[in-house]
Amino acid sequence: MLSDLGSQPVREVDVLRRALALLTDRLPPGWGATVTENLVVPDPGRRVGAVVELDAVVELIGSDGARVLLVMAVKRSLLVRDLPAVVDRLHASVAGLIGLEVPTVPVVVARYLGPSVRAWLEDRGVSYLDATGNLRIIVQYPALYLRDTGAGRDPWRSPGRPRGTLRGPPAARVVRALVDFVPPVTVPELVRRSGASTGATYRVVEFLEQEGMIERAPRGPITGVAWRRLLERWSEDYSFQRSNAVSAYLQPRGIPALLDGLRAADGVRYALTGSLAAQRLAPYAPPRLTMLYVDDPAVVAKQLELRAVDTGANVLLAVGDYDVVFDRTVEADELSFVAPSQTAVDLLTAPGRGPAEAQALLEWMQTHESDWRR
């Protein structure tokens, strides 16, 4: 990819010119563009005479002669936590151009915009462009919609620099604790609550703060958690089938017989997840597959009279290093279920209709937050 993209754009002006070349290449036939860099305009939000400096303004001229101004804020790198200030500055810049009576569109430009940054901007209707070719430009008039996909990861990140991740049991413990409990919470309290090490907890907190998924007072407690976005982000690094050793079985007499067997089982630690766990909270469709965590699949399969199969399974038994799945389980109808947060992430990565069931469950969790968060 580096050979395609060329050398790293170091200065903001290099970022801008690389990104503009990608933009102009994607304009429809008959469209033109002129660029003005470092434009100074009045700042209407401050005292008389105050000004704001714009990194760049691109005038697009449609094939019919209609004009629109793309007002750009250019950064070498951006994290989600940086975006509110950048977008506020952009809106102030746009306000300074209102007197020109030309439609204006704010655009965030950077060397590379990660998936979380792009999602944040899209949720707020802000156009963006990066030097790898990720772009989304929406103009109401003259009508223009440009969208393209560039790099999925920062191609210029130095090899020795660690990437943010939520992989591994310690991260899972921190995520589950942040989601399952209502803030505020200090980091030392989060360490005790999650059972993760102090170092791992601080690393996850720093990453989530950068991604804008938690709010934290300066050197103080975590005061807010975007728990739905956090679960969706965690599902990129954790899944029921990828993160565990999963065995497929058939219960010939069907799921009701399996549940009866679990009710009668003696000394078996298990936790139901997936469709069955979601069904009791947010019914979606009759479950066709039973997913559950166990300590020893062979012992459980023998006790429940399950048959190992390659195809046609209606039971999946999972075992792995993620013992957090047994934290804060819920007892109902003489059965043990994983917590709603664990159910949601397992369904987000499940096959078939699992992701749709996950969204139904997440909607229920938003509406009934006081029923499941501690």
Note whether 292 and 305 are within 8 A (CB). Answer: no
pLDDT, tens digit (0-9, with 9 covering 90-100), for 182-209: 999 999 999 999 999 999 999 999 999 9
pLDDT tens per residue across all 374 residues of the chain: 444 666 788 888 899 999 999 999 999 999 999 998 877 766 665 555 666 678 889 999 998 999 999 999 999 888 888 899 899 888 877 776 666 678 889 999 999 998 889 999 999 999 999 999 999 999 998 899 999 999 988 888 765 444 578 999 999 999 999 999 999 999 999 999 999 999 999 999 999 998 889 999 888 899 999 999 999 999 999 999 999 999 999 999 999 999 999 999 988 999 999 999 999 999 998 999 999 999 999 999 999 999 999 999 999 999 999 999 999 999 999 999 999 999 999 999 998 899 999 999 999 999 999 999 99
In sequence order, the 6+-apart residues with CB closer than 8 A to the CB of 146 are 23, 26, 27, 135, 136, 137
Quote the CA–CA distance of 245 and 147 in Å, as a whole number.
39
Across the chain, what does the average pLDDT equal?
90
In sequence order, the 6+-apart residues with CB closer than 8 A to the CB of 182 are 373, 374
pLDDT at 51 (0 to 100): 67
CATH architecture of 2-148: 3-Layer(aba) Sandwich (3.40)
pLDDT at 280 (0 to 100): 94
Output the six-digit token pair for 89: 């500055």
Quote the CA–CA distance of 270 and 157 in Å, as a whole number.
42
To the question of pTM greater than 0.85 for the whole model, the response is no
pLDDT at 159 (0 to 100): 56
Span 169-234: which CATH code?
A: 1.10.10.10
Which among 68, 46, 66 is positioned nearest to 57, based on CA atoms? 68
Residue 249 bridge partners (DSSP):
308, 315
pLDDT at 52 (0 to 100): 66
- In this structure, the strands spanning 330-332 and 135-139 are unpaired
pLDDT at 2 (0 to 100): 42
Extents of the domains making up the chain:
2-148, 169-234, 245-359
